Amino acid sequence: MRSLRCKTVLILLFFTLPVFIFSQQTPSPADRGMAEEEFRLGVQSYYRGSFNEAIIQFEKALSFLPTENLILDWLGKAYYRSGIESAAVQHWTLASQAGYGGLLLQNKIEVVQERRNISLLSQGNPRFSESGTFPGSSGDTLFFSNPVSILPMNDGSAWVIAYGSNELVKVDVNGSIIDRKRGTLSGFDRPMDILLLHNGNLLITEYQGDRLSYLSPDGTYISSFGSKGRGKGELLGPQYAAQDESGNIYVSDFGNARISVFNEEGSFLFDFGSKNNNFPGFSAPSGIQILHNTVYVSDAVRGTIYCFDTSGNFLTKLVPDGTLENPEALKIWKGYLLAADTNTIKAVSPETGAVIIVGNTGNSPSRITCAAGDRNGNILVSDFTANEIAVFSQMNELVGGLFVQIERVIADSFPDVTVELKVENRQRQPVVGLKEVNFFLTEGSRPVSVQKLSGSGDLNTFADITIIIDRSVSMKQYTAEVQSAVREIASSMKGMGTLRIVSAGSVPATEMINSPRAYTQFSESLIKTPYTSSSVLDTALRLCANDLITAEKKRAVIIITDGAVSQNSFQRYGLSEITAYYNNNGIPLCTINVSQNALDAEIQYLSTQTGGSVYYVYRTEGLSSVYTDILSIPRGTYQLTYTSSLPTNFGKDFLKLEAEVYLHNRSGRDETGYFAPLQ
pLDDT at 140 over 80: yes
**Size of the chain in residues:** 679
Q: Provide the CA 25 distance to its chain's centre, in angstroms.
A: 46
The per-residue pLDDT for range 391-417, each reduced to its tens digit, is 999 887 777 789 999 999 999 999 999
pLDDT at 257 over 80: yes
pLDDT at 21 over 70: no
Least confident of 3-12, 222-231, 312-321: 3-12
CA distance 637 to 172: 17
The per-residue pLDDT for range 500-529, each reduced to its tens digit, is 999 999 999 999 999 999 999 999 899 999
Class of domain 402-459+636-674: mainly beta
pLDDT at 19 over 60: no
The CATH number of domain 149-338 is 3.40.50.2020: no
Q: Residue 266 carries which side chain, given as an amino acid letter?
A: G
Give percent of the chain above pLDDT 90: 86
Instruction: Count the alpha carbons within 13 Å of 361 in the hemisphere toward its beta carbon.
Output: 29
Gap between the terminal Cα atoms of the chain: 24
CA distance 515 to 618: 25
How would you classify the pairing of strands 403-410 and 388-394? Answer: unpaired
Q: How many CB atoms lie within 10 A of CB 624?
A: 12
Q: Left, alpha or beta for 459 (phi > 0: left; psi -120 to 50: alpha)?
A: alpha
DSSP letter assigned to residue 430: B
Q: Nearest Cα to 383, choosing from 223, 145, 167? A: 145
The CATH number of domain 468-611 is 1.10.3720.10: no
CA distance 327 to 619: 37
CA distances from residue 508 to 169, 291, 458, 502, 511 in whole angstroms, order as listed:
51, 40, 31, 7, 9
What is the CATH code for 8-121?
1.25.40.10
What's the pLDDT band for 1 if we cut at 50, 70, 90?
very low
Q: What is the pLDDT of residue 124?
A: 52
Give percent of the chain above pLDDT 70: 95
The per-residue pLDDT for range 534-562, each reduced to its tens digit, is 889 999 999 999 999 999 999 999 999 99
What is the arithmetic mean of pLDDT over 623-628? 93
CA distance 627 to 496: 11
DSSP letter assigned to residue 505: S
**Secondary structure element (H or E) that encloses residue 150, with its range:** strand 147-152
What is the arithmetic mean of pLDDT over 607-630? 93
What is the arithmetic mean of pLDDT over 35-48? 96
Q: Provide the CA 209 distance to its chain's centre, in angstroms.
A: 37
What's the pLDDT band for 118 if we cut at 50, 70, 90?
low
The per-residue pLDDT for range 455-473, each reduced to its tens digit, is 999 999 999 999 999 999 9
CA distances from residue 570 to 82, 602, 627 in whole angstroms, order as listed:
17, 9, 27
What is the arithmetic mean of pLDDT over 30-43? 94
Domains 8-121 and 402-459+636-674 share a fold: no
Q: How many CB atoms lie within 10 A of CB 508?
A: 22
pLDDT at 390 over 90: yes
CA distance 75 to 55: 6
Q: What is the pLDDT of residue 224?
A: 95
Residues sharing a CB contact under 8 Å with residue 99, sequence separation 6 or more, in sequence order: 2, 3, 4, 5, 69
Least confident of 117-126, 175-184, 192-201, 302-311: 117-126
What's the pLDDT band for 427 if we cut at 50, 70, 90?
confident
The burial of 295, by beta-carbon neighbours within 10 Å (0-12 exposed, 13-18 middle, 19 or more buried), is given as buried
Q: Is 257 in contact with 295 (CB distance < 8 Å)?
A: no
CA distance 95 to 404: 19
Q: Nearest Cα to 499, choosing from 486, 509, 508? A: 486
CA distance 370 to 335: 17
CA distance 527 to 536: 16
The burial of 530, by beta-carbon neighbours within 10 Å (0-12 exposed, 13-18 middle, 19 or more buried), is given as exposed
Inter-helix orientation angle 624-632/479-492, to 10°: 50
Q: Is 392 in contact with 374 (CB distance < 8 Å)?
A: no
What's the pLDDT band for 127 if we cut at 50, 70, 90?
confident
* Domain-wise residue ranges, the chain: 8-121, 149-338, 402-459+636-674, 468-611
What's the pLDDT band for 378 if we cut at 50, 70, 90?
very high
For CA atoms 469, 473, 479, 481, the dihedral sign is negative
What's the pLDDT band for 20 if we cut at 50, 70, 90?
very low
The per-residue pLDDT for range 75-109, each reduced to its tens digit, is 999 999 999 999 999 999 999 999 999 999 999 99
Least confident of 112-126, 271-285, 406-420, 583-597: 112-126
What is the arithmetic mean of pLDDT over 635-645? 96
Q: pTM for the whole thing?
A: 0.88
What's the pLDDT band for 594 if we cut at 50, 70, 90?
very high
DSSP letter assigned to residue 476: G
**Secondary structure element (H or E) that encloses residue 111, with its range:** helix 102-116
pLDDT at 123 over 60: no
What is the arithmetic mean of pLDDT over 3-13? 34
Q: What is the pLDDT of residue 25?
A: 57
Q: What is the pLDDT of residue 207?
A: 97
Q: Which residues of 326-335 are buried (b: 16+ CB within 10 A; e: fewer)?
A: bbbbbbbbee
What is the arithmetic mean of pLDDT over 637-660? 96
